[in-house]
Amino acid sequence: MGKTLGYARISTHDGQDIASQKTALERLGALVVFADIGNGSSLDGRDQLEAAIRLLEPGGTLLALHPDRLARDTGDLLTIGKRVVQKKAILKIHDPAITFDGSDMMGEILLTLFGMVGSIEKHFIRARQRRGIEAAKRRGGVYKGRPATIDPEAVKELHRAGMGPSAIARKLEIGRASVYRALAA
């Protein structure tokens, strides 16, 4: 029997704590817990999820507490499940109890169902966000977007010093796409 690897994710540092997910996953048998901080609406930038899947061994298990910690999209959730099965491992979700090993339709049906629920949640979150933005604009242009977290001058200065985009991204702990945007601005 292979090792159980846990996967946790929170959307932001604001008011969210990944420690409780890690503790719960360890209590459920995860030897190591991989954790990402970021939006669940896309698999892009989920380095720790990628690492967990890469390290799965045949007979191992990837464990998550809830389907929305893995993905908020049917296609993404099924992609994760199928990648785990390709490693001859099992995807296990604690609540609701879903075990997907590729051997029966019920696991795939449950992943599809909860992926659809995640897609619906994502739709409603975006709709509420758009309504909030429109209301703020009607109040006199209060909405300005979130505050900038990247200093474009720091990016340009490192680039002028000969540093490449990947190295700049690592040094400033930002995405490479953000580096390219700052350099293009």
Same domain? 159 vs 113: no
Same domain? 102 vs 14: yes
| Whole-number Cα distances in Å, 63 to 72, 89, 104, 118 | 16, 11, 18, 18
Query: d(Cα 126, Cα 135) in Å, to the nearest integer?
Result: 14
Same domain? 24 vs 108: yes
Query: What's 69's domain CATH number?
Result: 3.40.50.1390
pLDDT in single tens digits along all 185 residues of the chain: 789 999 999 887 556 778 999 999 999 999 999 998 876 667 777 899 999 999 999 999 999 999 989 988 888 889 999 999 999 999 999 999 999 998 988 888 988 888 888 888 888 888 998 888 888 788 776 666 667 778 888 889 999 999 888 888 888 888 888 888 888 87
| Domain presence at residue 144 | no
pLDDT at 143: 65
pLDDT at 64: 95
Same domain? 109 vs 157: no
pTM, two decimal places: 0.66
**Strand 4-10 and strand 32-37: pairing?**
parallel
| Domain presence at residue 99 | yes
| Domain presence at residue 67 | yes
| Domain presence at residue 124 | no
